[in-house]
Amino acid sequence: MLNVKNMNVYYGNIYAIKDVSFDVNEGEIVTLIGSNGAGKSTILKTISGLLRSKTGSIAFLGETIENSASHAIVKRGLAHVPEGRRVFLQMSVQENLEMGHYTQPRITMNERIEDVYERFPRLKERYKQRAGTLSGGEQQMLAMGRALMSRPKLLMLDEPSMGLAPLLVDQIFEIIKELASLGVTILLVEQNAQMALSLANRGYVLETGKITLTDSAKNLLENDAVRRAYLGG
Amino acid sequence: MLILDQLINALQLGSIYALVALGYSMVYGIIKLLNFAHGDVIMVGGYIAIFSLAAGHHPALAFFLIVFGCTLLAVVMEKLAYTPLRTAPRISVLITAIGISILLQNLAQFFFEARPLPLHIPLPTGSINIAGTTLAYTMIITIMASVLSMLALNFVVSRTRLGKAMRAVSEDGEAAQLMGINVNNVVTFTFAVGAALAGIGAILYFVRFPVVTPTVGAMLGLKAFIAAVLGGIGSIPGAMFGGFAIGILEVLVTAAGFSRWTDGAVFLVLIIVLLVRPTGLMGRKIVEKV
Ligand SMILES: Nc1ncnc2c1ncn2[C@@H]1O[C@H](COP(=O)(O)OP(=O)(O)OP(=O)(O)O)[C@@H](O)[C@H]1O
Ligand SMILES: [Mg+2]
């Protein structure tokens, strides 16, 4: 479904992503794990068209997207929940959802908003409130709900558990599992490797811009090097 | 009653500043650009008015041509000069804006000479008497037209799809792109709306000061810019508030017998705001991204 080949990304002189290739197949949950500054967010931003790779290609559903504008990529069914949630703090919860529907025909909007409210009842209770008044967990739900408004075929999540209490992390991962069971393909970026690997089918380990290891999630959980580096022994 | 008289006077002037300040503020809010050519759009509106009225157009057609011409000019300016610089350093874009301003003024001088041209905007003359105060129709029309324009703007920004997208882009351009918003379209739309308001402001300005020169937009633009900074640049209510505040200040200074110092007083406001509260009265804290 998503095929990344030979991605090389620079920030000026900083060589951030070094010849990264990987695939996500339809129906999978794939996780990209790596520590601080490994380049996880950079990869997602490049897929979304916010950054450009110097070389290689990115294909989504068999069509190349490496030269497409971000808004065109979203329209094809690839949604990206960015790191730090990035909800529109000055806008209401409902307006945030409306923005998520921007690429879609207007007639489906209310129905989809209701769907999101059904999945995240907390958001319905607060539909008129400014997103800036929500708690971290609620903002994460809003960020995910907003991305779901475009009915994505592939959902990319950048550290959805960041800064959340353990109970909320469980809740968010539960929702990710549910989305996957509904047929949404998921590319999950996490520092919380334990949680991510327990959910995913496959994983890639990223170190300073390079993929150093790839295997089934189960094998990665048992891999000694991975355990030492990311699972606390 | 002298006070009421002065208040209406201040509201008239202030509403013109507010209309022009809105364009400054909205464009800044969305691409962090101080569009110093914004004031010159008004000058172009003045020349359009002169030609349209001299051609014998119905005033309604003339007004439409002014607003349309200003809007078109801003959109062309944005497409030709600013879009190619979307990822350029901010200082390059700022210098470009100043360059366009100078270019427009020189073009006007080349085509129409520097000589001031009289411009009579045909609005109903006459006045009504309320509580001992004589109110010219032009004053009432000016204030009403501005208030209606601002209500319309408020509707666009809070209710329409593009208006909401504008707020989204102004808050977080990258996140807006991830929503599927075409930022270029939204930026163009913002320039268009700002210039349309400036076009209306131009009509109302020339009602009050019926002379067009190539540099007529420069001082008006500068004052509107100060109004936008006072209210908090990037903030729509801030620009409205700042515009009225500057209008009131000028009228007060004049009424106090210091009419030669009105411009000075306005610039003093800029200095004070920048020293004491650079985010303006209603501005949000500017978080510089590292
Ligand atoms: N805007 C930028 N300008 C310059 N360098 C950057 C920029 N953004 C990221 N980098 C650098 O690129 C590298 C990868 O950053 P990236 O944000 O992709 O890492 P990450 O794996 O997402 O980290 P984290 O887990 O902290 O989110 C880092 O070394 C970072 O310092
Ligand atoms: Mg990151």
A188-219 pLDDT tens trace: 999 889 889 999 999 999 999 999 999 999 99
Whether residue B227 lies inside any domain: the answer is no
* CB-based contact A88 B181, cutoff 8 Å: no
Q: Is the pLDDT of residue B289 over 50?
A: no
Is pLDDT above 50 for B265? yes
Helix and strand numbers (H, E) in chain A are 10, 10
Q: Which residue of A has its CA nearest to B167?
A: A91
Cβ–Cβ contact A52 with B under 8 A: no
Average pLDDT, chain B: 91
Residue B73 maps to a domain: yes
CA angle B1–B3–B4, rounded 5-degree value: 70
Confirm whether A106 is domain-assigned.
Answer: yes
Instruction: List, in sequence order, every residue forming a beta bridge with A20; answer none if it has no partner.
Output: A7
Q: What is the largest CA-CA distance in chain A?
A: 52
Q: What angle do CA B28, B241, B130 make, to 5 degrees?
A: 145
Residue B84 lies in domain: 19-219
Residues of chain A with pLDDT under 70: 233
Secondary structure element (H or E) that encloses residue B177, with its range: helix B173-178
Side by side, which strands form the sheet with A154-158? A78-81, A154-158, A185-190, A29-33, A202-207, A210-216
Q: Which candidate, B199, B172, B243, B149, places its Cα nearest to that of B30?
A: B172
Residue A233 confidence (pLDDT): 59
Query: What is the structure's pLDDT at B290?
Result: 38
Q: Is A95 part of a structural domain of the chain?
A: yes
**pLDDT tens digits for range B86-143:** 889 989 999 999 999 999 999 999 999 889 999 999 988 888 888 778 888 998 999 9
Residue B278 lies in a domain: no
Residue B287 has pLDDT above 60, yes or no: no
* Inside any domain, residue B10: no
- Record: contact B180-A90, CB cut-off 8 A: no
A-to-B residue pairs, Cβ atoms closer than 8 angstroms: 65
- Inside any domain, residue A181: no
**Best of A50, A99, A110, A139 to disrupt the B interface by mutation (most B CBs within 10 Å)?**
A99
**pLDDT value, residue B134:** 83
Identify whether A5 is part of a domain: no
| Whole-complex ipTM | 0.94
SS3 A50: coil
The total number of structural domains that make up chain A: 1
Nearest to A64 by CA among A39, A50, A47, A51: A47
Residue A34 lies in a domain: no
Structural domain includes residue B272 = no
Q: Does A79 touch chain B (CB under 8 A)?
A: yes
Alpha carbons B45 and B65: distance in angstroms, whole number: 8
Residues contacting residue A230 through CB under 8 Å, at least 6 positions apart: A33, A35, A193, A194, A205
Question: Whole domain around residue A145: which residue ranges?
Answer: 87-151
Q: How many whole angstroms separate alpha carbon B111 and alpha carbon B212? A: 13
Q: Which of A79, A90, A147 sits opposite B171 (nearest CB)?
A: A90
Dihedral angle of Cα A191, A196, A197, A202, to the nearest 10 degrees: -100
Q: Which two tokens stand for residue B23?
A: 């364009």
**Residues with a CB atom less than 6 Å from ligand 1:** A 11, 14, 16, 34, 36-42, 83, 191
At residue A191, the pLDDT reads: 87
Give pLDDT tens digits for B182-209: 999 999 999 999 999 999 999 999 999 9
Number of domains, chain B: 1
Asked if the structure places residue A58 within a domain, the reply is no
A147 assigned to some structural domain: yes
Could you tell which of A9, A11, A50 is best to mutate to test the pocket of ligand 1, judged by most ligand atoms within 8 Å of the CB? A11
Vertex A225 angle, CA A224 and A227, to 5°: 65
Domain assignment present for A182: no
Question: How would residue B288 be classed by pLDDT, with cut points 50, 70 and 90?
Answer: very low
Residues of chain B in contact with residue A100, where contact means CB-CB under 8 angstroms, are: 179
Nearest by CB: B168 against A79, A88, A147: A88
Question: Which residue among B164, B165, B179 sits closest to A74, beta carbon to beta carbon?
Answer: B179
Confidence at residue A228, expressed as pLDDT on a 0 to 100 scale: 84
